[in-house]
Amino acid sequence: MSNTAIPLYQPLGGNDMPRFGGIATMMRLPHVPSSAGLDACFVGVPFDLGTSNRSGARFGPRQIRTESVLLRPYNMATRAAPFDALQIADIGDVAINPYNLMDSIHLIETAYNNIVAEGCKPITLGGDHTIALPILRALHRKYGKIGLIHVDAHADVNDTMFGEKIAHGTPFRRAVEEGLLDCDRVVQIGLRGTGYTAEDFDWCRDQGFKVVQVEECWGKSMTPLMAEIRTRLAGGPVYISFDIDGIDPAYAPGTGTPEIAGLTVPQALEIIRGAWGLDIVGADIVEVAPPYDAHGTTALLAANLAFEMLCVLPGVPRR
């Protein structure tokens, strides 16, 4: 936690600058060039070279920031007050290589090594889900094996996609192979849809993951599930990786691989809020593809989920 003698950054208020004015940083926070001196940061990764269907997630960070102008500093449901205790800013985007996937992965990993080196906790605006792999590599280098709350329509544990080992459908297979994850402290929520084989999700279970297919969530509060998950994931660092397609496309149409019958927005909030008390070392919201949602609703949802992730970081007080 930051030295309280240093003034903490605050989102720009709607009475200081109209919400339709000013520079679109995340929550209208100050933009700073690095994570130095920060407890947490928002960072964009405008990358979609790993997508398998509709591209466009490279525009996600910019649109999420644009929609985030409606957010205010206090969470009225949980009374979380992140800006009262933590030094938080928007550090901009990782400069990826739009012509080279593997070079981009290297650039992302290097950037996150620097972000987390002194303990700053990144809230990432994606970008497709490929980016979870280099982020987890950096977090593992800092914290050791990572527990994971993974919300998604897809398990993202393919061995290859068109023969490639790194794509948005492979990051968690690679993370297991590289020893990045504490597999007994991994949960996947919202998995659904059709598969290439009937056993597609069984690989996850075989690694020790807890798999909660979406049918187990229909018509239910996620609060009891999250109480169980908190017990399972306690005792070590935890990362939250939230693919926006985990939510039903009725609420989040702006994504590359939509699947019907997904989680509701209240369920998404219950999942994130239910992570309160865990040692969260970072989080992401990925696969927001603005070209497929002209109204910006998907990005507005993503901005709110990113704020909710900020609100469950360690050290955030509740008023």
Residue 65: left (phi > 0), alpha (psi -120 to 50), or beta? alpha
pLDDT of residue 289: 98
Low-confidence ranges of the chain (pLDDT < 70): 1-4
Looking up tokens 């970008």, which residue turns up?
A: 127
Looking up tokens 């075989």, which residue turns up?
A: 206
- d(CA 153, CA 204) in angstroms, rounded, equals 14
The two three-digit tokens of residue 31, written as one number: 């933009």
Which is it for the CA torsion 209, 274, 317, 72, positive or negative? Answer: positive
First and final C-alpha spacing in the chain = 17
CB 289 within 8 A of CB 299: no
pLDDT of residue 83: 98
pLDDT of residue 19: 95
In three-state secondary structure terms, 41 is strand
* pLDDT tens, residue by residue, 46-87: 999 999 999 999 999 999 999 999 999 999 999 999 999 999
Please, what is the angle between helix 297-311 and helix 265-273, to 10°?
20
CB 270 within 8 A of CB 217: no
pLDDT of residue 38: 98
Based on its alpha-carbon atoms, the radius of gyration of the chain, rounded to whole angstroms, reads 18
pLDDT of residue 6: 84
Beta-strand ranges (E) seen in 99-214 are 121-126, 146-151, 181-191, 210-213
